[in-house]
Amino acid sequence: MKPPASSGLTQSKVQYQAMMVQLFIQRRFQHVVMSARFYNIIYRDGDQAMRIKKAQTPKNSSLRGSASTQPSPPRCRSQRSHSQVSNTHQRLRK
């Protein structure tokens, strides 16, 4: 019984991808870029255009204005107020 034709194609893709990973591990980044470009030419499985339907959301949707309700990121410890820095400086001078 013959294996399906797609299994040979899948196996060759996996081998090619494994070779690309080996090149990456060897830090041969220019070779990785070249092999990625060749991969896109050889295997055309992902070059279809994306088709996204325009979603119809109600006007009172909870998604509206969600960017303004995002919490601000926490401040780093290095971003201290001026008074904290000056107080620390005064203590160190003593």
Q: What is the pTM of this model?
A: 0.44
Arithmetic mean of pLDDT, 76-86: 61
pLDDT at site 74: 56
Q: Alpha-carbon distance 53 to 59, whole Å?
A: 18
2-21 pLDDT per residue, tens: 556 678 888 998 999 999 99
Arithmetic mean of pLDDT, 74-92: 64
The per-residue pLDDT for 37 is 92
Dist. CA 56–CA 62, nearest whole Å: 13
Handedness of CA 30, 32, 34, 37 (dihedral sign): negative
Give the Cβ contact number of residue 32 at 10 Å.
Answer: 18
Where are the domains positioned within the chain?
A: 1-45
Q: Which of 41, 34, 43 is nearest to 15 (CA)?
A: 43
Question: What tens digit of pLDDT does each residue of 37-74 get?
Answer: 998 888 877 655 666 777 766 665 555 554 555 555 55
